[in-house]
Structure 1
Amino acid sequence: MKLTIDHADLAAAVGYAARTLPSRPPAPVLAGLLLDATGGERLCVRAFDYEVSADTAASAAVTKPGRALVPGRLLADITATLRGDVHLDLDDTRLTLRAGSARFTLPLLPLEEYPTLPEPGTTTGTLSAPAFAEAVAQVACAVSREEALPVLTGVSLRHDHEAGTLTLSATDRYRYAVRTLPWKNAALPDTSAVIPGRALLDAAKAAADDATVDLALPAGSGLFALRGEQHTTTIRALDGELPKYAALFPTEFAHTATVEIAALKSAVQRVALVSPKKDGPVRLTFTHDGTLVLESGSGDDAQALDAVDTALNGDGLTIAFNPTFLLDGLNALTDESMTFGFTSPTKPAVLRGHSSDAQALRYLLMPIRQTD
């Protein structure tokens, strides 16, 4: 293999594929990136760890076709520092990279031991890439970080053919985030799959600058695929389904309160500083005089109090939340103001953008019970 490629194109392609490299590869060859210059005037860069694959390409002047498997993270570190044209030259045992006065020689991994990348399924439908990336990021805040229940570490993608929608949802049992996107041209009956949250978030972010993305939804625990303009990622879906959320979200509220998001975020961050535990509760008291009082700490411990303006409908109430979970929901909302919906201080609250529609993010948050 012998070729010349622009440093920025090489770094982008290597960086895209390297993000899927496992931190603890199940086999040494899975720590490698496959460089393939056998398909014309381009260099393909691929990665695979049996669960997630990444496949991307960049234009290159290829004078001698070939393939090589090289240490992936080292290659990513090197390509991020190069400038100008990069020359790649492969011999029997080494790959040499030259750019200006810099020269690197990398060992090869056994190409014959590298697994074949999975073939993505038939495209289900096409979405706006920025909209899909935003939706994934919004619901991913509720993905569980505990491995005891693997299905809770995923994001559910549910296609409703009759409604023409794709609904994304995630939960860790303490909160539930739901976001719906219009998807009228999807050629698939109703189906759903749970995709590992971290891998889906990475793939959606990497394709966010494209105009559109093609999705291939599996039926159950199959293979999910996301195709951008130059990239393709496949992810093995998780077994199982998330708990049904429809019955969890109240449709009527005894109290609603509207608050400016930036002011509330700042106040939560301030009062949470005195909590002796990272997840110590922040108490929110909504009053009829247009004030939301936030408090944290108690007894002989440090205490904090702050207040922001609010507009309350219904009786006043006091409710407490895990501040990290509350901030996650506030950060996921994209409006300037948000609305709390309450049924009682001991039941889950619903957070959503004040001017949002029915398909926008809904964030269900369990309160923390307070003892006298």
Structure 2
Amino acid sequence: MIRCSRKELLNALQTLSGILPSKSPKPILENVLFHPLKNTVEVLATDLEVGIKLTLTEVEVIQKMDFLVPGQKLLGILKESEADTVAFEMQENHCKITLNQDIFNVLSLSPEEFPQIADFQEKETFSIPSTLLRNMIRKTSFATANEATRYTMNGLLMDNDGKTMKTVATDGKRLAYTQCKSPTKEKFSVLLPPKGFQHIEKVLSHHRNENASLLIKENQLLLKANSTILTVQLLQGNFPPYQNVIPKGFPLSTSIHKNAFTKSLKKALLLTIQESQSVRLHFEEKTLTLFSHDPSIGEATVFANLEEPIAEPLDISFNPTFFLDVLKVLEEDIVHLSFKDSTSPGVIQEKDDFLYVVMPLNL
């Protein structure tokens, strides 16, 4: 039997909820495993692709006994209750859950059948600031693909040569790349699945002023942030040779305020065809003119001021959502744009650690 803080357990289950299905071909995966220790209780969940282990500290352990509780049902119970504490007591194949005068008896499967989550070996890890890793994922993951046929492009590449660590994502039409000084001399190149990098970012958002520890072994990545441990099954396959996509040399460059660029793109987007969104960008001196056209409605011409003049006029067309996506993750107010010509990719750079490459559209 254990007793714990309802609020602390509710926060833990909300973190686990993304990997807790209401229905699964494997019913055992619908459950949360409680593992009582001397003064704490570990709470575990997994969908076999991602596993998360959290530690509850506001607890009273009366009897050390592992048990399972259906995760989504327990989450619903805790949300509806106003009790300060929640007590769990095993009764044969049922778990009795008590909150004030409310009692819930739920079926409890055997904890021996619950999949094991890999152990975290502290000696084999390397450390990286949580905020840095979270920002690297946030500034690249939006460019991943969502296709069944090219599943490796659905993943986020973490590539480390011992000097520089990079995160890279591409869907074949754009590429986002960011880098930092390598936190380890160990070389690795791994592919994180969508659910994996989404949960890493989610966990790190709760530990922004701390360091995270990482461990890569076999086909898994393990991350520890404070008392939270997350395991991710890595994607297998070859990521596209991203170095070949990055253009060399940009004879044309300019800059624009992020808010002005965002508003102009959103205006032009209003009169585009939903199936094939396209906006033509005309750069000349210190003016950007955006043209869009929808045969069923009409056309739009939108103007914006550039922060610095472009060397020569340029006409080039893009999917405006590809620019709007990257503008959401940029940190600086001024956006630096570079081009080679009207048929080559456009590039956005921020500081020395972020690069975004987007292919133009042929009209």
Residue in 2 aligned with 1:33? 32
Counterpart of 1:314 in structure 2 is: 311
For residues 126-182 of structure 1, the C-alpha deviation after alignment (integer angstroms, 9 at most, x for no partner) is: 111112111101100111111211111111111121x2x321101111111111122
Structure 1 residue 231, shift from structure 2 partner: 0.8
Instruction: Specify the SS of the correspondent of 1:313.
Output: coil
Task: Indicate conservation of the 8 Å contact 1:217/1:223, yes or no.
Answer: yes
Residue pair 2:117, 2:231 contacting (<8 A) in 1 also = no
Residue matched to 1:294: 290
Q: Check whether the contact 1:123–1:214 (CA below 8 A) recurs between aligned residues.
A: no
User: Partners of 2:22 and 2:233 in 1: how far apart?
Assistant: 18
Cα distance in 2 between the residues matched to 1:102 and 1:335 = 52
Change in Cα spacing, 1:187 to 1:200, as seen in structure 2 (3 Å) is same
Closer/same/farther in 2, CA of residues 301 and 166 from structure 1, 3 Å limit: same
Match of 1:20 in 2: 19
* TM-aligned CA deviation for residue 26 of structure 1: 3.8
Instruction: Tell me the equivalent position of 1:369.
Output: 362
> Paired residue for 1:199, among 196, 199, 203?
196
- TM, length-normalised to structure 1: 0.90
Map Cα deviations across residues 267-302 of structure 1 (whole Å, 9 max, x no partner).
2112212222154101111111x1111121155542
Gaps of 5+ in 2: none
Partners in 2 of 1:337 and 1:23 — Cα distance? 45
In the TM superposition, what are the counterparts of 1:3-14 in structure 2 within 5 Å? Answer: 3-14=2-13
What is the distance in 2 between the residues matched to 1:269 and 1:177? 21
Deviation at 1:214, TM superposition (A): 0.7
SS class of match (1:80): helix
1:136-285 alignment, distance < 5 Å: 136-161=137-162, 163=163, 165-184=164-183, 186-188=184-186, 190-210=187-207, 211-218=210-217, 222-285=219-282
Q: What is the SS of the residue equivalent to 1:332?
A: coil
Asked whether the 8 Å contact 2:125–2:215 carries over to 1, the reply is: yes
Question: Alignment partner of 1:147: what SS?
Answer: coil
Pairwise CA distance, 1:53: 1.0
Q: Report what 1:348 is aligned to.
A: 345
Structure 1 counterpart of 2:89: 89
Distance 1:344 1:103 in 2: 70
Give the drift of 1:102: 3.9
Percent identity, please.
Answer: 22
Question: Which secondary structure does the structure 2 equivalent of 1:303 belong to?
Answer: strand
| Preserved contact between residue 35 and residue 66 of structure 2 (Cα < 8 Å) | yes
C-alpha separation in 2, matches of 1:134 and 1:179:
9
Q: Which residue of 1 aligns with 2:61?
A: 62
Q: Measure, in 2, the Cα distance between the counterparts of 1:18 and 1:300.
A: 44
Q: Distance in 1 between matches of 2:114 and 2:279?
A: 51
Aligned equivalents of 2:159 and 2:125: distance in 1?
A: 12
The total of aligned residue pairs comes to 357
Q: Indicate if the aligned counterparts of 1:166 and 1:183 stay in contact, CA closer than 8 A.
A: yes
C-alpha distance in structure 1 between counterparts of 2:166 and 2:216, whole Å = 12
> How far apart, in 1, do the equivalents of 2:47 and 2:113 lie?
13
TM-score by length of 2: 0.92
Deviation at 1:227, TM superposition (A): 0.8
Deviation string 1:63-92 (CA, Å, 9 cap, x unpaired) is 122122121122223223444122222222
What CA RMSD, in Å, does the superposition of the two structures yield over aligned residues? 1.9
Letter in 1 for 2:327: L
In 1, distance between residues paired with 2:195 and 2:111? 28
CA separation in 1, counterparts of 2:201 and 2:344? 33
Checking the alignment, whether the CA contact within 8 Å between 2:272 and 2:292 is kept in structure 1 is yes
Distance 2:344 2:195 in 1: 29
The structural deviation recorded for 1:5 is: 1.2
- Pick closer, same or farther for the CA change 1:261–1:87 going to 2, 3 Å: same
Match of 2:47 among 46, 49, 53: 49
Check the 8 A contact 2:22/2:72 in 1, yes or no.
no
Deviations 1:234-282 (Å, cap 9, x if unpaired)? 1111112321222321231121120111121122112212222154101
